[in-house]
Chains A and B, each alone.
Chain A
Amino acid sequence: MMREFLRGIFYLLLGVLGGYLSATAAVDSFGASPAGAGSQWQHWDVAPSSAAHPYAIAHYLLAGRFPPPSGQIMEFVTDLDKDGNAIDGDCIYRVTGKPAAARWWSIALPETETAANPVVTAETAVLDADGLLTVTISRHPSPGNWLGPASGENYSLIYAVSESEAASGTTAAPPFTIARTEC
């Protein structure tokens, strides 16, 4: 009798744990898809028509954020450089690429501990004569476009792009590569 009781408790706990873990795992992975073949950038499709909609929305809400407005702004996130290594706060990186022909875009380091978000936007970025953007990411200030992580921990980069042609088709995929230059 006691053995049967314990077995029941075990299976009930297994069910609760399985349900909880499957939900958190689905939020982390099911709503995300690569921005393109071989791309390090991930995109959570929050459009209501998306099959992963509840998981993509939950990804933002459980992280304490508001989801980006679908149809207006798309967001892509990566925590890996072009070689597949985690982006390390103690290393120096160079982000290069031609920004999308969109009204507004940004490349940001999500920093909750600092007074100001390190962000480069379409309005503040300096491009070269060919329209190429180069952003240096390092703990210490660097000439040109620069983003400074607050700590030496691993971090993610967010690329956000607004509406129009860039946010309505496949061209919205981030055109940037992230290369480690020094460590």
Chain B
Amino acid sequence: MARLYWIITAAVLAVAVHTAYMLLAPARAFERNVERIAGEAGRNAFFVIPPDQQNRLFPAFPSADMFGACAFDVSAAKVALAAQMPKGLWTLTVYSGAGDVIYVLNDRQSGADSFTVTLSLAPSLIEMLQQAGGEDTGGTTGWDVQTAKPKGIAVLWVSIAEPEQRPALEAILRQSSCKTVAS
């Protein structure tokens, strides 16, 4: 009887450790990577990911390609990513703090190379019930993205056919901004 008790205890503990590991370890690894690449730029600021970090994070892409990013924190206020993209193939990917992809967009879907994505914290269930008619998320200058977790990162990828083009295209991308906005 005592042995059965301990076997059940071990099984329950194994399930708990398995679940805790899956919930915590990947998110922590992602968080460390975000902090590392954000570096001095910090949260709610636009930056171009350094080439050495880019190769490690995105090994399927050529080193000549360009990745811009905004590590956001919407716990206190909304964050607006105003992107200035060069012409050609690009994608926007918004990752939650747990590393899940919560929003994607590319140049064809966007239809514009200059746009704004406003990031905000998703309302809780109680807040949703209290809202009278729901919130209009169809902005006129871009898109609104709501995230269940306050922190995350938006990543912009620009495909560059010729490495010589990079300085000129990077100058365009660096005109992008990321900052908190009044709610």
Residues of A within 8 A of B (CB): 4, 7-8, 11-12, 14-16, 18-20, 22-24, 26-27, 46, 48, 54-55, 57-58, 60-62, 64-73, 75, 103-104, 106, 108, 110-112, 114-117, 119, 121, 123-124, 158-160, 162-163
Residues of B within 8 A of A (CB): 2-3, 6-7, 9-22, 25-27, 29-30, 33, 51-52, 55-64, 89, 91, 93, 95, 98-101, 104, 106, 155, 159, 161
Number of A-B contacts (CB under 8 A): 156
Interface contact B58-A66, CB-CB below 8 Å = yes
Interface contact B6-A16, CB-CB below 8 Å = no
Interface contact B60-A68, CB-CB below 8 Å = yes
Interface contact A61-B6, CB-CB below 8 Å = no
By a CB distance below 8 angstroms, the chain A residues around B22 are 23, 26-27, 54-55, 58
Interface contact B62-A117, CB-CB below 8 Å = yes
By a CB distance below 8 angstroms, the chain A residues around B18 are 19-20, 22-23, 26
Contact residue among B12, B14, B19, B99 (Cβ-Cβ distance under 8 Å from A67)? B99
Interface contact B29-A11, CB-CB below 8 Å = no
A134 → B minimal CB distance (Å): 19
How many angstroms between the C-alpha atoms of A73 and B67 in the bound complex? 15
Closest B residue to A121 using CB positions: B62
Interface contact A19-B17, CB-CB below 8 Å = yes
How many angstroms between the C-alpha atoms of A136 and B21 in the bound complex? 41
Interface contact A61-B10, CB-CB below 8 Å = no
Extra contacts, 5 of them, besides A8-B6, A27-B22, A66-B95 (Cβ < 8 A), are A11-B10, A61-B26, A110-B60, A112-B55, A114-B55
How many angstroms between the C-alpha atoms of A2 and B64 in the bound complex? 64
How many angstroms between the C-alpha atoms of A125 and B98 in the bound complex? 36
By a CB distance below 8 angstroms, the chain A residues around B161 are 123-124
4 A-B pairs closest in CB distance: A19-B17, A15-B13, A110-B59, A15-B10
By a CB distance below 8 angstroms, the chain B residues around A68 are 60
By a CB distance below 8 angstroms, the chain B residues around A22 are 14, 18
In this complex, which of B20, B58, B98 has the most chain A Cβ atoms within 10 angstroms of its Cβ? Answer: B58
By a CB distance below 8 angstroms, the chain A residues around B7 are 11
By a CB distance below 8 angstroms, the chain A residues around B3 are 7
Interface contact A18-B30, CB-CB below 8 Å = no
Interface contact B12-A15, CB-CB below 8 Å = yes
By a CB distance below 8 angstroms, the chain A residues around B33 are 64, 66
By a CB distance below 8 angstroms, the chain B residues around A115 are 51-52, 55, 63
Contact residue among B13, B52, B57, B91 (Cβ-Cβ distance under 8 Å from A69)? B91
B83 → A minimal CB distance (Å): 15
How many angstroms between the C-alpha atoms of A11 and B2 in the bound complex? 11
By a CB distance below 8 angstroms, the chain B residues around A19 are 13-21
How many angstroms between the C-alpha atoms of A18 and B33 in the bound complex? 28
How many angstroms between the C-alpha atoms of A100 and B99 in the bound complex? 28
Interface contact A104-B16, CB-CB below 8 Å = no
Given contacts A19-B18, A58-B26, contact A117 B55 (CB under 8 A): yes
Interface contact B61-A119, CB-CB below 8 Å = yes
Interface contact A62-B25, CB-CB below 8 Å = yes
Closest A residue to B7 using CB positions: A11
